[in-house]
Amino acid sequence: MLTFLRATLILFTLLLSLTVTLAFADEEACVTCHRTISPGQVADWEVSLHFEMGVSCSICHGEDHKQANDTDLASFPDEALCAECHQEKYDQFSKGKHNYGWTSMNAMPITHVEPDELMEGGRGCGGCHNMGIKSEAQKKEQRDKGYRYQNNSCDECHTRHSFSKKEARDPRACQQCHMGYDHPQWEMWSSSKHGSRWLTKQAGNLPEGAQAPACVDCHMPEGNHENRTAWGFLGVRLPLPEDPQWKADQITILKALGVLNPETGAPTARLDAVKAVDLARLDQESWQKERDKMIDICSKCHSRTYVEEQLAMGDSMMQKADRLMADAIEIVVALYKDGIIEKPKDYSFAYPDFLYFMRTGGSDINGMSHVDQVLFQMYMKHRMRTYQAFFHVNPDYAYWYGWAMMTKDLAEIKELAETLRAVKKVEMH
- 82-111: which residues touch ligand HEC (CB under 6 A)? 82, 84-86, 89-90, 93, 97-98, 100-101, 104-105, 108, 110-111
Q: Which is nearer to ligand HEC, 63 or 141 (CB)?
A: 63
Which listed residue (1, 2, 68, 428) binds ligand HEC by CB under 6 A? Answer: 68
Closest approach, Cβ 409 to ligand HEC, in A, equals 19
* Interface with ligand HEC in residues 284-303 (CB under 6 A): 291, 294, 297-298, 300-302
Asked whether position 197 contacts ligand HEC by CB under 6 A, the answer is yes
Closest approach, Cβ 410 to ligand HEC, in A, equals 22
Rounded Cα gap, residues 82 and 98, in angstroms: 16
Judge if the upstream peptide bond of residue 161 is cis by omega within 30 degrees of 0.
yes
Rounded Cα gap, residues 355 and 256, in angstroms: 8
Stretch that binds ligand HEC, among 8-16, 152-160, 398-406, 417-425 (CB under 6 A): 152-160
Closest approach, Cβ 239 to ligand HEC, in A, equals 16
Q: Which is nearer to ligand HEC, 84 or 338 (CB)?
A: 84
Asked whether position 256 contacts ligand HEC by CB under 6 A, the answer is no
Closest approach, Cβ 105 to ligand HEC, in A, equals 5
Nearest alpha-carbon partner for 369 in 389, 388, 347, 390: 347
Residue by residue, DSSP assigns 174-203 as HHTTS-SSS--HHHHHHTSHHHHHHHHHHT
Q: Which is nearer to ligand HEC, 89 or 424 (CB)?
A: 89
Stretch that binds ligand HEC, among 17-25, 239-247, 305-313, 404-412 (CB under 6 A): 305-313
Across-strand partners of 260?
A: 267
Asked whether position 232 contacts ligand HEC by CB under 6 A, the answer is yes
Q: What type of residue is 83?
A: A
Distances (CA, A) of 386 to 105, 380, 391, 395: 23, 11, 9, 10
Judge if the upstream peptide bond of residue 109 is cis by omega within 30 degrees of 0.
no
Query: What count of other Cβ atoms lies within 10 Å of the Cβ of residue 193?
Result: 12
Cβ pair 269, 345 in contact under 8 A: no
Rounded Cα gap, residues 392 and 381, in angstroms: 16
Task: Classify residue 104 by burial, with Cβ atoms within 10 Å: 0-12, 13-18, 19+.
Answer: buried
Angle at which helix 284-298 crosses helix 304-337, to 10 degrees, equals: 140
Which listed residue (134, 191, 213, 332) binds ligand HEC by CB under 6 A? Answer: 213
* Interface with ligand HEC in residues 321-380 (CB under 6 A): 357
Which listed residue (11, 53, 276, 411) binds ligand HEC by CB under 6 A? Answer: 53
Q: Which is nearer to ligand HEC, 220 or 260 (CB)?
A: 220
Asked whether position 392 contacts ligand HEC by CB under 6 A, the answer is yes
Closest approach, Cβ 421 to ligand HEC, in A, equals 32
Asked whether position 231 contacts ligand HEC by CB under 6 A, the answer is yes
Q: Which is nearer to ligand HEC, 157 or 335 (CB)?
A: 157
Rounded Cα gap, residues 228 and 286, in angstroms: 10
Which listed residue (134, 183, 255, 385) binds ligand HEC by CB under 6 A? Answer: 183
Asked whether position 211 contacts ligand HEC by CB under 6 A, the answer is yes
* Interface with ligand HEC in residues 153-182 (CB under 6 A): 153-158, 160-161, 163-166, 168-169, 171, 173-174, 176-178, 180
**111 CB contacts (<8 Å, ≥6 apart)?**
105, 119, 125
Closest approach, Cβ 51 to ligand HEC, in A, equals 8
What is the rounded end-to-end Cα distance, in angstroms, of the chain?
A: 109
